[in-house]
Amino acid sequence: MGRIDEILPQIPVYMSDLSRQIFERVFCFSPTKGKIKRETTNIEDEKPLKIKDFTITPYTVDHSAYNSFMLLIEVEGKRILHTGDFRNHGYKGKILSKTLKKIGKIDLLITEGTTFSREQIKNKTEAELVNEIREKAKNYDQVLMLMSTTNIDRVTTMQKVANRTNKTVIHDIALSNVLSLVTQRIPNALNSDKVYVFLPAYYYIKKDMPEYRQYVEPYQAKIQMTGKQLHKPFIMNIRVSMLRDIEKLKSKSKVLDNACVIYSMWEGYKEQDIFKNFLAKMEKLDIDVYSIHTSRTF
């Protein structure tokens, strides 16, 4: 998604308007810093789209990225199902079998192969993940969740862990903005008086700049930054770009006196220097690190 504007202009791009809004909001808090420049055509669940002789129908799937689709492609009397990445262990996992029955017989299946090289084991469900994270979280006063900003299922899991361990929920400013676009069933800083917002120092410095002001002002009353403001015990999502903030909370503010990091992302990211250095720094700060994640399964 970070390179979507590099697609040749003569190649049309189809994505849901909601997905575009989510990623544009994420881009505002990433090095991309801005909106998607190229035009995109909206697609919606179970609404057929005609492209020349092709009829393409999106179907919602359970996936870590919110608002994902598989595609039924119909042409010349043939029916092709392109699943993309999918799973059945998330909070929307039950829709998979119903969707496949709805689609019916197909002539060709194109599916993802990410798990083909992995051990043939059944991955944890999000419900099982809640229990595993809770067991770790109950031993710490501060739990830092290193997770994808667009993994809304994991946000729900984070909330469930907080409920079961009596911890305050704190979302960083980027996640707070993403949650304002998706389901309001998840407590967030705008619909709950029990959820707060962490504004990393980098964005605090730039909060009055036009490109940031509109995304910070709605949360002004809920923003916490200093050690004295943070409600303990708490569970908070983090990103690797927040390393300096974490160092300050640990060393200067003495907030992270009994803290752990839950690494809840694909294990492959750990090979990247930015993640490798971040996790190594956590260990130097005496912050325990646990890998608790679940990905695709079927």
Q: b/e map of 215-249 (b: 16 or more CB within 10 Å)?
A: bbeebeebbbbeeeebeebbbbbbbbbbbebbebb
Confidence (pTM): 0.81
pLDDT tens, N- to C-terminus, the chain (298 residues): 878 888 999 999 999 999 999 888 888 887 666 678 889 999 999 999 999 999 999 999 877 677 889 999 999 999 999 988 776 665 565 778 888 999 999 999 998 776 666 565 566 777 888 999 999 999 999 999 999 988 888 999 999 999 999 999 999 999 999 999 886 778 999 999 889 999 998 887 777 787 788 889 999 888 876 666 777 799 999 999 999 999 999 998 889 999 999 999 988 899 999 999 999 999 999 999 999 987 644 4
pLDDT, residue 238, reads 96
* Cis peptide bond N-terminal to 31, omega within 30: no
Partnered with residue 81 across adjacent β-strands are 72, 109
Total Cβ atoms within 10 A of residue 72: 21
Partnered with residue 171 across adjacent β-strands are 197
Q: Name all domains of the chain by residue range, CATH numbers in brackets.
A: 4-110 (3.60.15.10), 126-291 (3.40.50.10710)
CA distance 166 to 153: 20
